[in-house]
Structure 1
Amino acid sequence: MVDIKTVGVIGAGQMGSGIAHVCALGGYDVRLHDVSRERIDAGIALIGKNLARQVSRNIIDQAAADAALARISAAENVEAIGQTDLAIEAATENEEVKKAIFRSLQPHLKPDTLLASNTSSISITRLASTTDRPERFIGLHFMNPVPLMKLVEIIRGIATDVPTYETAVAFAKSLGKITSNAEDFPAFIVNRVLVPMINEAIYTLYEGVGTVEAIDTAMKLGANHPMGPLELGDFIGLDTVLSIMNVLYEGLADSKYRPCPLLVKYVEAGWLGKKTGRGFYDYRGEVPVPTR
């Protein structure tokens, strides 16, 4: 098993910054990379804000927050990520983008660097096949928001070897996470169940069975869900929901996974949810207001 001391994270958005956050709190030196220094700095600022929130809630103390932030450094060039012990890709849920990242990273990798993807739906086997080390490639699917959610799905590709798997499990547990093993099928476990439910809620809205408010209230109070499915879709990002539905639809060839036309329309409009200010709710005022 590889002794992991340094972790590289590619992608400084919501997921990547969350992964960097928990890795730094876990005692690892973290290098954070994105397409621009501005995006890296924004990711580090978000980590600082979230660490401060944990301090205010007495989850961690100030010393732990300061030490974690000090372990995170900006990696403006992908070469720096290649010199880490574990490189985790946390870019947008697009297979070609992810493959391009691994191809650009490959010439700079140490011989023993492990590779991981935080993909929520895409084949680990296919992603691994673009690298020179499919046996040292694994899926580490963290849940959003990473600092709060306890689960990490671990997905082995067809070529992933046993030491890589055992190292990945030990690494996730060292972050205080609980692991769940998933086979390399489209969307794995969590999103295979969760995202079609969100898509079905959108169909329920599309067909006029209920309003946004009625559907979310029904699922929160009738099924004891902490968040309604349409609100949850906005939180995840409707572009990500659509990407996962397309992976399921194309990968399993079953009409039950067809993305709802209303979901497609919202994504085409750029109404992607909370991150863009509008989705099934409008977030631009003091209180979110349903858009339908």
Structure 2
Amino acid sequence: MLQQEAEAIQGVADAIAHTPDFAQCVEAILSLRGRVVVTGIGKSAHIAGKMVATLNSTGTPALFMHAADAIHGDLGMIQADDFVIAISKSGDTPEIKVLVPLLKRKGVPLAALVSNADSYLAVQADYVLHAPVDREACPHNLAPTTSTTAALALGDALAVCLLESREFTRQDFARLHPGGTLGKQLYLKVGDLSRQNQQPQVADTAPLKDIILEISGKRLGATAVLSDDGKLVGIITDGDLRRMLTTFEGRLQAVRARDILTPHPVTIDIEDFAAEALTRMQDRNITQLVVTEQGRFAGFIHLHDLLREGLV
């Protein structure tokens, strides 16, 4: 079944490559002053709804109109500057055949997303988005399976071509997806989280007692080590302290921060995305990063911060 559907998607790609309608449809939508209205009935209506959601989320304003409801009042949602995409496997569905003359009367451009390029809908349309399907994956060749997969893939291809043509960026995407984990990956900055934390820091001359108190009191499992002029020279973690206590042979009173620090700690800028902080932690198998701002120490971001925001 999956192989059959995969072959159908390849057939869609071949159809796009050999007909100009797809590219012309993209150009028409790019020059559109109105919205894309996508319609269908039955399973095609579900595909139409998904296409609308994808278009809206990638910068192309779109509306869903059920083909049956259209002839009972919903046709009023179509304005003169809009563009209609009608989805129908056969292209000869009774509701679609009733709807097409009404759309033509409105004078709006019409694209037909069909499997049958010789159907009534395809012949009447200004653009044919051909999704050829020889047979459904259903063993009885009845339930829409392969045909809906092909239509879904063609709708995604249209949305992505429009996205690329508009030079739609990650930042644009973030503005349309502010909620949930996806939104946080795209807009949440390191500084949004690190500013909520304390900023453990000691001088490179600090004695062991001060180091332990700073790490314990600030509860981030580490402290930054700064030089006299405020430059970051290293980091000391609670793990560094434990290792030092098991290996140090001199007097503990003589230990200073510079003796046990790890130089060149992994850092991240306060303006970087929090998702990048997670990547760096995972790559290096560590639980915190030193945060910098214009090269100066600005705090810490911890794995727990990312867990709390649902990024892990």
TM-score for the superposition, normalised by structure 1: 0.31
Higher Cα Rg, which structure: 2
TM-score (norm 2): 0.30
